[in-house]
């Protein structure tokens, strides 16, 4: 099977939210308990560095996007990574494809630092991030509650070797 990564378009919104809902249902992708509306999602993420991964039938299997970590000008080149794969797409190396393309897109748009906060139970995501140069900078213990259970997150970051050096 062949795959293509392209820039996200407004018409992709329903599928992007569906995949986000699958991540919520899985319990190890986000603290969110409900998917946002497209308008809320759209306002949260940068307008650039939004990608979707399609199969040869043009079905969207996953997405990746960046969101700001701060509105302060000094942090304009720092972004938080979000990557979501639909359940049938997991375990096939597609997350690696998306993250690699997202890193390239981020550097084209002047980002010098990418960060991720991942539940420790989501080992595949941690492994993929480390594969592409993210390093662990710490653990945040009992950062937030999810369904009455305190959850930790692993903090990872990747410093660009070409932007902001």
**CA dist., res. 165 & res. 163, Å (int):** 6
**pLDDT truncated to tens, each residue of the chain (165 aa)?**
899 999 999 999 999 999 999 999 999 999 999 999 999 999 999 999 999 999 999 999 999 999 999 999 999 999 999 999 999 999 999 999 999 999 999 999 999 999 999 999 999 999 999 999 999 999 999 999 999 999 999 999 999 999 998
Class of 3-115 in CATH: alpha beta
Rounded Cα gap, residues 118 and 125, in angstroms: 7
Round to whole Å and give the CA distance between 28 and 60: 21
Cα(21)–Cα(149) distance, rounded to whole angstroms? 20
End-to-end, the C-alpha distance of the chain in Å comes to 39
Taken as a whole, the chain contains a residue count of 165
């Amino acid at each position: 099977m062949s795959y293509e990564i392209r820039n996200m378009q407004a018409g992709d919104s329903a599928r992007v939210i569906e995949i986000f809902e699958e991540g919520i249902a899985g319990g190890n992708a986000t603290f969110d308990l409900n998917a946002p509306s497209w308008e809320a999602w759209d306002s949260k993420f940068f307008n650039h560095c939004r990608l979707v991964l399609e199969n040869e039938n043009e079905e969207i299997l996953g997405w990746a996007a960046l969101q700001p970590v701060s509105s302060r000008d000094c942090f304009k080149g720092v972004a938080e990574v979000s990557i979501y794969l639909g359940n049938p797409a997991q375990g096939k190396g597609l997350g690696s494809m998306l993250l690699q393309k997202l890193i390239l897109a981020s550097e084209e748009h002047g980002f010098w630092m990418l960060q991720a906060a991942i539940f420790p139970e989501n080992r595949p995501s941690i492994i993929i991030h480390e594969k592409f140069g993210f390093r662990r900078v710490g653990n945040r213990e009992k950062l937030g509650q999810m369904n009455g259970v305190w959850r930790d997150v692993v903090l990872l970051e990747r410093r660009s070797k070409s932007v902001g050096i």
